[in-house]
Amino acid sequence: MASKVWDDLSMCNADFSKIFHGNFPLRRINALELLYLDCVEYNVRVSAASYAKYYFHLRSIYKSLKLGHLSAFDSNTPLNLEGARKMQVISEDYEERIKLLPPPLRRRSRTISSQVPSERIVEEEYRYSDLTAPPASLEQLVHMEVKSAGGNSSPYKYTGWSKRHSE
């Protein structure tokens, strides 16, 4: 489910079961997807914090049940709780910075029913970008500073399953 939302692709669970070659049958994938959807209350517009929280929680369940190896998920080294805390701090920092941007730079889309002529829309969009500037790397665009991570000073708090799930 996370892969479907993150990549914004239409994928069938049967495709995932083929990837795992029998280690993860379709019935099990469907059950986990329903569990995940229930955890996020069927809201597929998941914040980065919620995504990271449930990603690591489901990953730890998978590991604890010893259902197989995690090589299908590994890029180099799997992140741990400390990595999740750092991601949370970075994510919150980014969300605060994005709030400081002027509204035209934050806008993601326009409705078709807008009364603004299309030529004016194009002009307005290009006014905020400099097409002659040299390309920038991701590191130059996003200043990833970790304010605090780990220990008691971290704003990330893992609360575990909600009361609703413990009944």
Distance of CA 77 to the CA centre of its chain: 18
> Residue ranges of the alpha helices (H) in 20-136?
26-39, 48-64, 81-100, 103-106, 118-127
pLDDT band at 67 (very low <50, low <70, confident <90, very high): low
CA distance from start to end of the chain: 25
pLDDT band at 18 (very low <50, low <70, confident <90, very high): confident
| pLDDT computed for residue 122 by the predictor | 42
Per-residue pLDDT reduced to its tens digit, 102-143: 765 544 544 444 444 444 444 444 444 444 445 544 444 444
pLDDT band at 54 (very low <50, low <70, confident <90, very high): confident
- Count of residues in the chain: 167
